[in-house]
């Protein structure tokens, strides 16, 4: 996943084995994605996402960026939400492939060391994302 946090280039690599998906039926399900930092500014670590899928529409329910120690520093702004346009394909071996774009307004978490209420925009292009684990 590559993109920009405000104007700073960022990239994370989806951890295919620690991410998971679960589908109730063919068109209704969820993706829980954990991605490790590749190119991020100081103070930024892993990213966690929860995406719901319903009849071809994807919705970003949770997005959290952690620092290097695993503490939450930025999260999905409750009043702004996020936009997700993902194509999701399941291979016969159970692997899920994800491509598309996500955009979200993030707010600094309390006690994150950032200015309380600080907002930043995150735009990510997901190209060749892969999840190998199915949820329970």
Q: What is the mean pLDDT of residues 50-76?
A: 90
Contacts within 8 Å (CB) and 24+ apart, 64-69? 65/5, 65/106, 65/122, 67/43, 67/112, 67/113, 68/43, 68/44, 69/45
Helix/strand/coil for 78: coil
pLDDT at position 80, please? 61
pLDDT at position 136, please? 45
Q: Would you list the domain boundaries of the chain? A: 2-134
Q: Which residues contact 32 (CB under 8 A, 6 or more apart)?
A: 19, 20, 21, 48, 49, 50, 135
CA 51 to chain centre: 8
- Which residues lie across from 114 on neighbouring strands? none
Q: What is the mean pLDDT of residues 12-41?
A: 91
From 62-71, 80-89, 92-101, the region with the lowest mean pLDDT? 80-89
Q: How far apart are CA 61 and CA 41, in angstroms?
A: 24
Q: What is the mean pLDDT of residues 11-15?
A: 95
Q: What angle do CA 46, 47, 52 make, to 5 degrees?
A: 155
pLDDT at position 135, please? 62
Per the model's pLDDT, the better-predicted residue between 77 and 60 turns out to be 60
């Amino acid at each position: 996943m590559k993109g920009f946090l405000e104007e700073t280039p960022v990239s994370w690599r989806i951890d295919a084995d620690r991410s998971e998906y679960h589908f109730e039926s063919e068109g209704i399900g969820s993706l829980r994605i954990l991605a490790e930092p590749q190119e991020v500014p100081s103070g930024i670590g892993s990213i966690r996402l929860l995406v719901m899928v319903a009849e071809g529409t994807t919705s970003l329910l949770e997005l959290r960026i952690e620092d290097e120690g695993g503490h939450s520093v930025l999260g999905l702004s409750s009043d702004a939400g996020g936009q997700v346009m993902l194509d999701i394909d399941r291979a016969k071996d159970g692997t899920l492939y994800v491509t598309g774009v996500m955009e979200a307004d993030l707010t600094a978490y309390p006690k994150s060391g950032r200015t309380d209420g600080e907002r930043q925009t995150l735009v990510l292009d997901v190209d060749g994302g892969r999840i190998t684990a199915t949820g329970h």
